Amino acid sequence: MINASLPELRRALDARQISAVELAGLFLDRIDALNPALNAFITVDREGALAAARVADARIAAGSAGPLTGIPLAHKDVFCTEGVLTTCGSKMLANFVSPYDAHVVSLLKVAGVVSLGKANMDEFAMGSSNESSYFGAVKNPWNPERIPGGSSGGSAAAVAARLAPIATGTDTGGSVRQPASYCGITGIKPTYGLVSRYGMIAYASSLDQGGAFGASAEDCALLLSAMTGFDERDSTSLERPTEDYAAALAASSATTPAARPLEGLRIGLPREFFAEGMADDVRATIDAAIAQYRALGATTIEVSLPNARLAIPAYYVIAPAECSSNLSRFDGVRYGHRAADYGDLADLYAKSRAEGFGAEVKRRILVGTYVLSHGYYDAYYLQAQRLRRLIAQDFQAALQHCDLIAGPTTPTTAWALGEKADDPVQMYLSDIYTIAVNLAGLPGLSHPAGFGADGLPVGLQLIGDYFAESRLLSAAHRFQQATDWHARRPAGAA
């Protein structure tokens, strides 16, 4: 059962081959055995998980189970969960027990999901390696000496090591897709506004978006279907009908030819994604994956995203600016870490924030404060917003000629722990293919495409137009029906 897909788990639960309590116990025991080495979880909620599993068993017995009833899950520790520690990977919130649930958490509770606990993450979702967590670095299940990616590295590592079959994450500049690539699983970031940000501790509000991790596109479709929906408490939540991505995927499978299921799909290959900077082994793996898409009936054309090279500088102006505003609430007064010794109120603020925030968070707060300061706002922040608009326009122009855009998720496979700790710019460049998608608010998906020369996973990224989640999931699903990269498991998770 540990390596079963969500449809397989659903059938086993409904047929009473295993109970939800037994299934939760299997994963909880696996967490006890493997998490000390991987550090994928910050908090394991055994008591809460088993209580939720008993409720799920009652629903199954009553015949009222949904697709996710009784399915174990890990929540990224950026989502507020009532009565459970919500730390955001920071000393600032190391003892914070949320008094309410995030909208995503509420929806998944209604769906009957069994939350196993809270997954480790880069502090306040700021990082690309999951090394900035106050609770220590997460290890990549494929090689514990390598990073799992960030900021949702704990969620990705948990799914890759089968500590949980599915997990939630958030994606501000690639924080679902990049760790999905490094850990050899599937991850999707939906269109901005499809998943409510209520109760999701903010980093950069115009970029943050909840996403889903699973071993396959089919598993992600089932999870994402339960996560989306309008929420009046989030001013950026989109008021539109919800979609059943899993049902759409099944319907598409029934109407496409078996031999060439992607016949008629046009995939754009941005020349900027295949220029310098991509490692040779990643390039070879991506080329082979694209050849597989062609074999399945898709056609490929070259497109251009001329302003993609400006995505990183634009992002690292906009995101820190929003971070400096969002994190101003953590002042040692209302909640969170408070310094033990201080003089006046200003000293309390300064010492509490100095002690509570880690180095990467402080760096981004300082950068954000600088670009928003008088005399620099026009020169930096407004210019970055103009670039953001140009990047979005580039995607729209490219998508006039194709249905999806494809390319590498990351320029290399996962690097060694500590390798880029002293060079933040090099770490930022690991998100070079993902950041533009967030700036444009588009959906993006990463799925396993093969392995690099070092035996570590390589992910292929698919990008679609607004609300093209079904198309992304369907294309990835067809690829996964023809290949088994998504079914490979790290040695310790086999």
Instruction: Answer for the pair 169, 187: CB distance below 8 angstroms, yes or no.
Output: yes
How far is residue 161's CA from residue 165's CA, in Å, rounded to a whole number?
9
Dihedral (Cα; 169, 170, 171, 176), 10-degree rounding: -10
Please report the beta strands in 136-236, taking only residues with DSSP state E, as ranges in sequence order: 166-170, 186-189, 210-214
Mean pLDDT, the chain cut into blocks of 10 residues (494 residues total): 96 98 98 98 98 98 97 98 98 97 98 98 97 98 97 98 98 98 98 98 98 98 98 96 92 80 97 92 98 98 96 96 96 93 96 97 96 89 96 98 98 96 88 97 98 97 98 97 97 70
What's the pLDDT score for residue 75?
98
Q: Is residue 268 part of a domain?
A: no
From the list 315, 306, 314, the residue with the least C-alpha distance to 272 is 306
> How many CB atoms lie under 10 A from the CB of residue 306?
14
Q: Is residue 136 part of a domain?
A: yes
User: Is residue 132 annotated as a catalytic residue, yes or no?
Assistant: no
Range of the domain at 474: 6-255+446-493
Which of 129, 175, 446, 470 is catalytic? The answer is: 175
What's the pLDDT score for residue 493?
65
Q: How far is CA 126 from the centre of its chain?
A: 13
Distances (CA, A) of 153 to 19, 38, 177, 277: 29, 11, 10, 23
- Name every residue whose Cβ is closer than 8 Å to that of residue 419 and which is 6 or more positions away in sequence: none
Q: Is residue 109 part of a domain?
A: yes
Amino acid in position 438: N
Q: Is residue 277 part of a domain?
A: no
Q: Which two tokens stand for residue 156?
A: 């990705």
Which of 90, 98, 132, 151 is catalytic? The answer is: 151
How far is residue 13's CA from residue 96's CA, in Å, rounded to a whole number?
35
Instruction: Answer for the pair 388, 321: CB distance below 8 angstroms, yes or no.
Output: no
What's the pLDDT score for residue 494?
58
* Domain total in the chain: 1
What's the pLDDT score for residue 259?
80
Q: Is residue 375 part of a domain?
A: no
User: Is residue 151 annotated as a catalytic residue, yes or no?
Assistant: yes
How far is residue 210's CA from residue 192's CA, in Å, rounded to a whole number?
9
What's the pLDDT score for residue 70?
98
Instruction: Answer for the pair 72, 106: CB distance below 8 angstroms, yes or no.
Output: no
145: domain CATH number?
Answer: 3.90.1300.10
Q: What's the CA angle centered on 291, arms 290 and 297, to 5 degrees?
A: 95
Ordered strands of the 210-214 beta sheet:
41-44, 114-119, 72-76, 166-170, 210-214, 186-189, 444-451, 457-463, 404-408, 266-270, 299-303
